Structure 1
C-alpha cells in the first residue's frame, strides 16, 4: 500500500506518551551525553542514517546521534533509555530516544536533540541547569522500539532513479532488532540477490529486477539471527520518495 509518509509521522509521535511500554531488562551501561543545536529542537533530516524527515520528527524529535553505538549503520533505528545521574537535576525516567545519526562529542556516546536533552531534567529549571552543563554523565540501556498499529515500511529514497537504481530505507522497526542484510528476489534465475548497504540504514541495488519487487531482510535480535520476508511487494512502477507498507512487523 502506497501512502504519504507525513501521515505516518504525525501519528507516531504518540509513542512518547507510552514510556512505560518501552522497557527491557538489558544491562545498564555508563557514558556521557551532550546535545546539538537545532532551531526547532527536533532532529535533523540529513542524519547519517538516511532517515530524512522521519529522522527529524520520530518520537516527537526525541532522537540522538551516537558514536560507537552506530555500528556501521546497523545501530540506526535502535531505541535507548538515557538517564543522567546527577540527583539534583535528573529525572528518574530520563529520555527515550531513537538513533538517527552518527556523531562524536566530548567522550560521549549520545548527542541528543534539544528535546531529548531537556527530557533528562526533572523539571524545566533543572533542564536549564543541564543545558548550562553542556555534557552530563548518563546511564543507558537499549529498549524496545514500539510502533502501535504500524508495519515496517520501505521508503524509496529521493536518489532512486526508476528503473535503473533503487535505494530503500526500512522504517518503523519494532523491538530490539537490527537489520543486517536485505535481499531482493531475482525472478529470472529464481534466487535472492543481496542489496548493498549504501550508508546508514539505506540499502541499494543497481539495475533492480523488473516487475513487483519482493524483499526479505536478515534480522539480528534477542531471538538470534533470522530472515523475514515482506508480505507485500513493492509495486512494479515504484517512485522515488514514495513509501510502501510491508504488511510485516517483527514484534
Structure 2
C-alpha cells in the first residue's frame, strides 16, 4: 500500500540538491556542456558511481549520463531525469528536440589537466553515452554546449530495493524511482522494530543501517528530492536473503 506525503526535506539535504531540483520547474539552464563516453553499443555503461549495476537489466539502458561534481551532489542526484538540448554550435544537429536521460554515474574531475576539464567544479557537465550524444550533435564535435532542465521520471513498475551487505549491516540500493527520481531520505521498519529507523546515505543510491533485521519482514519510506514520500509496507518477506531484489510502490 502506498502512502504519499509532502514532508519537509531532510536537514541533510544539501544546497547542491536544492539547486538541481529547482530546475524541475521547467526553467532551462544554459551554461552547461556535454561530451560522450563508451561506444555505439554502450559497452561501458554497465556499472557506475550510483551503484545501479547492469543498467540494461535495471531498465536504464543507454538513456543515461555521468554528471560532473557540480550536479552529482555526492550521489544524491542519482536517478534524476533531465532533458538536454544542443545549442549554439555548428555541430548541433538541426531540427532535433531534446533528449531525456537519467543520472546514473559520476564524471570525476581531473585537476592535473589544463584543457578538457569539463567535469571539474564548478562546471555543469553531462558525459552522455555515445548513442545519446549522436542524437543531438555530430561525432566530430567531441564536446558541445547544451541547455538542460529537470523533468519527471516515468518508470514502469514499482520502486526496487536490492538488499546487500551482511546480516548485521544492511545496505539497500533504491532504484527505478519515478517522479523526481532522486532519493533524499530512506527509512526502514522491521516487523519487530516497532518504529521507523533512519537509514544513512552510503554512496550513490545505497542506504545503510546497522540494525539487526534478519528474520523480519521489511517496510520502506522513501522521500524524493521534491519532499514527497512513498511508503511500501511489508514488501520484503521475513525469509529474505542478501542479493534479492523486491518491488514496492512508486511515485
Q: TM-score, normalised by structure 1?
A: 0.75
Distance 1:174 1:25, change over 3 A: same
Root-mean-square deviation over aligned CA pairs: 2.4
Greater relative contact order (Cα 8 A, min sep 6): structure 1 or 2?
Answer: 2
Deviations 1:186-224 (A, max 9, x none): 555522111111101011122432311121122232xxx
Q: Is the 8 A contact 2:36 2:129 kept in 1?
A: yes
String of CA shifts for 1:42-84, please: whole Å, max 9, x gaps: 5523311000013787443121000122122221011111111
> Is residue 217 from structure 1 mapped to residue 226 from structure 2 by the alignment?
no
Task: Tell me whether 1:28 sits opposite 2:28 in the alignment.
Answer: yes
Residue of structure 2 aligned with 1:137, choices 145, 151, 155:
145
Question: For the structure 1 residues 87 and 228, does the alpha-carbon distance in structure 2 shift closer, same or farther, using more than 3 Å as the test?
Answer: same
Q: Which moved more, 1:41-50 or 1:212-221?
A: 41-50
Partner of 2:153, secondary structure, is coil
Look up the match of 1:115. Answer: 131
**CA–CA distance in structure 2, aligned partners of residues 116 and 203 of structure 1:** 30
Aligned residue for 1:89?
92
The CA distance in 2 between the partners of 1:35 and 1:56, in whole Å, is: 22
Alpha-carbon distance, 1:137 to partner: 0.6
In proportion to residue count, which structure has more helix? 1
Give, in whole Å, the separation in 1 of the partners of 2:131 and 2:219: 38
Structure 1: tracts of 5 or more residues without a match: 1-23, 122-129
Tell me how many residue pairs correspond in the alignment. 211
